Structure 1
Amino acid sequence: MGSIILKGKLFTGYDIVENGEIKITGSMIEKVGEKGSIEIKKDDKVFDFSGLTIMPGLIDAHLHFFGGTSHDLMDWVTVNPQTAMLRSTLDAFRLLSSGFTTVRSLGDKTSIALSRAFKNGELLGPRVFSASYSIAQTGGDDDPRILPIDIANRLSYSYYCDSPWECRKAVRLCIRDGADVIKVYASGSFAGGGKIKRELTVEELSAIVDESHEAGLKVAAHAYGEEAISNVIKAGVDSIEHGLGLTEKLAEEIKEKNMCYVPTLTAYALSKNKGSEERKKLIERHFNEDMEIAKEKKLNIVAGTDLVGISEEPHGLNYLEIVHLSKYIGNLDALKAATVNAATCLGINAGVLKENYIADIIAIKGNPLNDVNELEPNHVDFVMINGKIAKLNGILMPFGV
């Protein structure tokens, strides 16, 4: 069987090749070069994408597959498991059709099965990096406290822990599930409607990081507020999720420790005017001071939407994070946030059109370097994941070719 050759304008993840070619053999990129630099053999398949922009597959580094219908916590924890899985599988198809070839799901009850199905070749969808269940303190974020504790523990998508040793056990439970990453709640959020405060101590967070790193897994930390951000920096997490309440001093520490900053602007933009005055104020600050500090201090900004797949905010709109980021860091760096930066954050050999990288490639009608809105789903003409064509001429091919 021959190789696949793609011809056209390339955005490699770093720069533009106006007339380029890519050779894909198996699941990997074998060669990238100028037009005419790749020898084409008789059994090779050649695709000419003149007028399109060929680029790395997009990555959403923070989302969830809850399979629910609303932002209500009880909906997330009580949805029928079979229903949740069916809805999440449809969400996975939507994501792939929209050009997202890798996603990181940070706490839910379905993504571990999606991740396993992708790895086993049983599902053509995006590569799913799953945290399995998230880790939180008892009575903390996403603990449905109206339920008795035993029922809450059984229905929740979090493992609850209340000491360093319990936190280590929670990590081990995630590892037992097959987690690709560990997600921890270092603060509250808006899910329960309460006041934002730090959750878990530095000692507990450090135990989680130590146990995770010992197993070769990165740690993503949900952190709202200065105290929570400071705590996760001290604990040595790998990425800070949301990061509302960023200060210049904290940003300098994040930069010094080479941590990723995932501001999840899309989720807030879609619900900016909802909730309490405190919520609105924190979000307003996030879209102004927080992001200006992140830009000024040149943090490693990574694209993540925090979309959960409900009908009002479906997966497939994930490109909006790139649109929001572009307003602060420009189109090129916003695209990098969803390709090379996100791949580095996840620790995968993707996100770049380069020899010996995974062949996750898309082709866009238009030029997203000039206008990132060109990334909207109906502009995604071609999708390849792991060297397998999943969308061609705008038509999703659920079994791949």
Structure 2
Amino acid sequence: MLSEKSIEAVRATLPAVRSAMGQIASVFYDKLFTAHPELLRDLFNRGNQASGEQQQALAGSIAAFASALLENPGTPPETMLSRIAHKHASLGITPDQYAIVHTNLFAAIAEVLGEAVTDEVAAAWNEVYWSMADALIAIETRLYAEAGTPDGEVWRDYCVVGRLPGNDVVTFLARPVDGSPPPASRPGQYVSVQVELPDGARQIRQYSLSGAPADALQFTVKKVVGRPDGEVSNHLHERVAEGDVLRIGAPFGDVTLGDGDGPVLLASAGIGCTPMIGMLNHLAGTGSPRRVIAVHADRAQGTHAFRADLEQLVAKLPNATAHVWYEDPGSPWPADRTGLVDLTAIGIPEGITAYLCGPLPFLRAVRTQLRELGVPATDIHYEVFGPDLWLGQD
């Protein structure tokens, strides 16, 4: 909670800080990586730094947190904090790293805003930062304890025991090298995977768990081709074989399939299908009687990962249906399932809980449709791969 004095200072300066936050974030990362080049090499996603997405996500999260404190001083934005904390926990972030961020972030604020950063303003935003940092540290401490890694030591060596290729994807099965059982996970969670690249960097990426076999972790990786190509995904596709050892973190992720017997919607686009397949695997494996509506959108049949798995898993469930849209099917396909997803065409029952994963345009479109169909915002949960540029937005 902010002091009354700080609330007024933050309220007065928030518009200026918000408008400059993108520049502040850029200067911050320049300073951070100059002082600590190992963080860019071995912790931060170099691709997201190059694209500017990480800078946008940082700027959005700080501005959203400050706004939330002003609107509800005694109530921190728990959903936003949980999302960030799970990402941090998956990387093994520790409390001492928040002090490093603080030093470089406030140096960037002072450089960008100049004389506008009076002692009073600096003290107020210092409160904002440590309110957010302390809340995240508390959540991360709890997550580490629940995962059995109280010191944030989430990394273990795993041996690749299976490698299953699919449409532009590879599914890996990996077991702990020390022979211990794999950690427990919830449907919808992800793991961090760290690989050593040819230039010596040890880059980390998160991949959704696409199933939960008893004796291994199962995660799926889509090969990323573009500008730039995916450093880690391509390395895993081209260089990692059965018998190789990978450094993998404990499972985390706040968008997980809830318990209960109410209806669920699993809506995905592209490689966003991986956590949904994980959820379907769980539902089918437990013989769930729940009403399940699986919706997927893709460019074409040939790019649809887990297409056969979707059909097979839905067929195993007594009260499940699948609805698939292709933008360019490339072969005969129903006209009413060509183009973009239209939820009005399938009927959404009352009391449904929705889980979404895919690109931001897809998430926004499906969420809008659900809200127009009367689904409460609190019953719509989304996962986005990479920096969450939607964070803090309604």
Query: Above 0.5 in TM-score?
Result: no
Return the structure number with greater relative CO, CA threshold 8 A, min gap 6. 1
Structure number with the higher strand fraction is 1
Compute the TM-score of the two structures, normalised by the length of structure 1: 0.29
Structure number with the higher helix fraction is 2
Compute the TM-score of the two structures, normalised by the length of structure 2: 0.30
